[in-house]
Amino acid sequence: MNIIFVKIEERMESKVRVRFAPSPTGGLHLGGVRTVLFNYLFAKHHGGEFVLRIEDTDQTRFVAGAEQYIQDTLAWCGLIPNESPLHGGPFAPYRQSERKAIYKEYADQLIKNGQAYYAFDTAADLEAKRAEIANFQYSKAYRMEMKNSIALPTEEVEKLLQTNTPYVVRIKIPDQAEVTFEDMIRGEVSFDASTVDDKVLLKADGMPTYHLAVVVDDHLMKITHAFRGEEWLPSAPVHILLWQYLFGLDKMPKWAHLPLILKPDGHGKLSKRDGERLGFPVFAMDWTDPNTKETTIGFKEKGFLPEAFVNLLAMLGWNDGTDKEIFSIEELIANFSLERVHKGGAKFDYEKAKWFNAEWMKKTDNNKLAELVQPYFDKAGIEVHEASYLVKVIGLVKERCVLLPDFITQSSFFFQAPSVIDIASIQPKWEEKKQDFFIELVKIYANKIVEGLKTMPAETLETDFKELATAHSLKPGDLMLPFRIMLVGGKFGPGVFDIVENIELQDAMTRINHTLGLLSSN
């Protein structure tokens, strides 16, 4: 028996190099970004390099704009690759479609060494065979019944090749081979390679499949540690065999198969559909399919801060062993270790995700928040005359905002009078005494304005308000809610006197009068 055993040596003498290798087929979802993140954290923790490689070998699934989207997403998250298709690097090109010729050479070498072979079966041939034989596998058991350079006489193979018959190149899995390797997260994993079929390495269009491309490029790009989702575990033996055939197992990167991110309800891998169904983003940023024009919302546009997004992703499958949950990217880099990455998948919890964002909002500087919030104000058509005023308002309302757009609902009344007044919450307990009180309050404010005051400190406003209430033999408490609703339109917002202080006396008067008008006309 041919035993392949790969051990992790604790050597780290060569510079750590990792890669993220997505296919440009659409938006980048949570699981993808987390794979990037763990790659990045591992590389930076060890002072290594992070490479972005685009695996665009499937021309039928290629989607225009997806590559740009991936780069933009990494930029938003702050996970900038050292080498990429856009910025190049010493191992360019970084797009597999541009490396087509390279893979052919290696496929030829495998064929020459008897480790791979030509297969001429058409799609129909394969379909028929699969229909005929339950659990059909293109391997030892049925290889000889198929149209390939192992089963066919040499002359016929020659003839097929000379007449340009379409073919694929398949790896020849050894009849008996136990493949064992050390996964950095899972420990020793072993497979009986004969249960794997002869995977296609080179497709009929001359493009490599993932199996060949990942091995060749990881070698050529000197990748030392390869991270990928757990869904790749079953094909690991193919890759290990290829490493053995092509470059030697001593050169092979160490593998780490990351746990999956699961649906919040039910079971299975989290998908784009789950987000739509349950009402939360799954992609990092908005993604518009160029064909259907359909847009899928992203965490960025939903109003998440990149710091929070990265933080929450890191905690999905990793922790530092303490109760600490809020980590900056620098702290993550400093503390990250693969030993603390989980083996089991984690269900995504949107409520917890929002909590991370709320925490990061509180930590973020008001000036920074103002910058981020400005576009939402623009979109809502709310004019911000002074940036400094926005910064001040943000300080007043930030702890009641979870997502960036919450600033609109929580603070629009600082910039314009509310368009809707929740009269229904005032009316039941409304009485003439209260009306008189507010008429008097307006007069007081008018006098202050005549005295040359535009506004007054919240504390003074509050004292005056309470004194006036007492004078009208009313409890201040019974007046606060109506006052709040007059100012903001409903039962929300920061302290009423903080609001009055900021919107200034003139505006407050206008709003009181407006509501008084509504109340008397009803």
Partner RNA sequence: GGCCGGUUCGUCUAUCGGCUAGGACAGCCCCCUUUCACGGGGCAAAGACGGGUUCGAUUCCCGUACCGGCUACCA
The smaller minimum CB distance to RNA, of residues 7 and 475, is found at 475
- Convert 342-368 to b/e letters by CB count within 10 Å (16 or more is b): eeebbebeeeebbbbbbbbbeebebee
Does residue 192 interact with RNA by CB under 7 A? Answer: yes
Contacts (CB under 7 A) with RNA, residues 459-488? 475-478, 480-481, 484
Task: Choose which of 195, 328, 416, 427 interacts with RNA (CB under 7 A).
Answer: 195
Identity of the residue numbered 354:
K
The smaller minimum CB distance to RNA, of residues 148 and 224, is found at 148
The smaller minimum CB distance to RNA, of residues 277 and 454, is found at 277
Does residue 513 interact with RNA by CB under 7 A? Answer: no
Instruction: Dihedral sign for Cα 236, 242, 248, 253, please.
Output: negative
Measured from the CB of residue 49, what is the shortest distance to RNA in angstroms?
21
The total number of residues written for the chain in this structure: 522
Q: Which of 494, 440, 449 is nearest to 469 (CA)?
A: 440
Measured from the CB of residue 501, what is the shortest distance to RNA in angstroms?
13
Measured from the CB of residue 58, what is the shortest distance to RNA in angstroms?
4
Measured from the CB of residue 319, what is the shortest distance to RNA in angstroms?
5
Task: Choose which of 47, 153, 266, 279 interacts with RNA (CB under 7 A).
Answer: 266
Does residue 493 interact with RNA by CB under 7 A? Answer: yes
Asked whether the beta carbons of 19 and 50 are under 8 A apart, the reply is yes
Task: Choose which of 18, 23, 67, 148 interacts with RNA (CB under 7 A).
Answer: 23
Contacts (CB under 7 A) with RNA, residues 302-361? 315-317, 319, 321, 323, 325, 340, 342-347, 349, 351-352, 355, 358
Does residue 171 interact with RNA by CB under 7 A? Answer: no
Task: Choose which of 30, 77, 160, 200 interacts with RNA (CB under 7 A).
Answer: 200
Does residue 379 interact with RNA by CB under 7 A? Answer: no
Sheet holding 168-171, edge to edge: 116-119, 168-171, 200-202
Measured from the CB of residue 364, what is the shortest distance to RNA in angstroms?
14
CA 236 to chain centre: 26
Does residue 61 interact with RNA by CB under 7 A? Answer: yes
Task: Choose which of 49, 55, 67, 501 interacts with RNA (CB under 7 A).
Answer: 55
272 is catalytic: yes
Does residue 489 interact with RNA by CB under 7 A? Answer: no
Measured from the CB of residue 143, what is the shortest distance to RNA in angstroms?
13
The smaller minimum CB distance to RNA, of residues 171 and 509, is found at 171
Tokens 């965490």, residue located: 299
Measured from the CB of residue 451, what is the shortest distance to RNA in angstroms?
27
The smaller minimum CB distance to RNA, of residues 174 and 449, is found at 174
- 82, exposed or middle or buried, with CB in 10 Å at 0-12, 13-18, 19+? middle
Q: Which stretch binds RNA (CB under 7 A): 15-23, 43-51, 82-90, 504-512?
A: 15-23
Asked whether the beta carbons of 129 and 136 are under 8 A apart, the reply is yes
Q: Alpha-carbon distance 252 to 244, whole Å?
A: 8
CA atoms within 13 A on the CB side of 475: 4
Task: Choose which of 135, 164, 473, 521 interacts with RNA (CB under 7 A).
Answer: 135
Considering the candidates 272, 347, 392, 466, report the single residue annotated as catalytic: 272
Does residue 210 interact with RNA by CB under 7 A? Answer: yes
Q: Which stretch binds RNA (CB under 7 A): 155-163, 264-272, 288-296, 302-310?
A: 264-272
Alpha helices in 180-271 (DSSP H): 210-220, 236-246
- Convert 491-504 to b/e letters by CB count within 10 Å (16 or more is b): eebbebbbbbbbbe
For helices 66-77 and 30-45, what crossing angle results, to 10°? 50
The smaller minimum CB distance to RNA, of residues 166 and 248, is found at 166
Task: Choose which of 15, 277, 454, 491 interacts with RNA (CB under 7 A).
Answer: 491
Q: Alpha-carbon distance 87 to 49, whole Å?
A: 14
The smaller minimum CB distance to RNA, of residues 61 and 159, is found at 61
3-state secondary structure 418-464: CCCCCHHHCHHHCCHHHHHHHHHHHHHHHHHHHCCCCCCCHHHHHHH
Q: Which stretch binds RNA (CB under 7 A): 98-106, 198-206, 287-295, 328-336?
A: 198-206
The smaller minimum CB distance to RNA, of residues 204 and 417, is found at 204
Does residue 449 interact with RNA by CB under 7 A? Answer: no
Q: State the maximum Cα–Cα separation within the chain, in Å, rounded to a whole number.
A: 111
Contacts (CB under 7 A) with RNA, residues 228-247? 230-235
Q: Alpha-carbon distance 417 to 406, whole Å?
A: 18
Task: Choose which of 9, 105, 205, 365 interacts with RNA (CB under 7 A).
Answer: 205
Q: Alpha-carbon distance 71 to 84, whole Å?
A: 9
Q: Three-state SS for 169? A: strand
Contacts (CB under 7 A) with RNA, residues 112-131? 121-123, 126, 130
Q: Alpha-carbon distance 320 to 331, whole Å?
A: 10
Measured from the CB of residue 398, what is the shortest distance to RNA in angstroms?
9
By annotation, the residues acting in catalysis are: 272
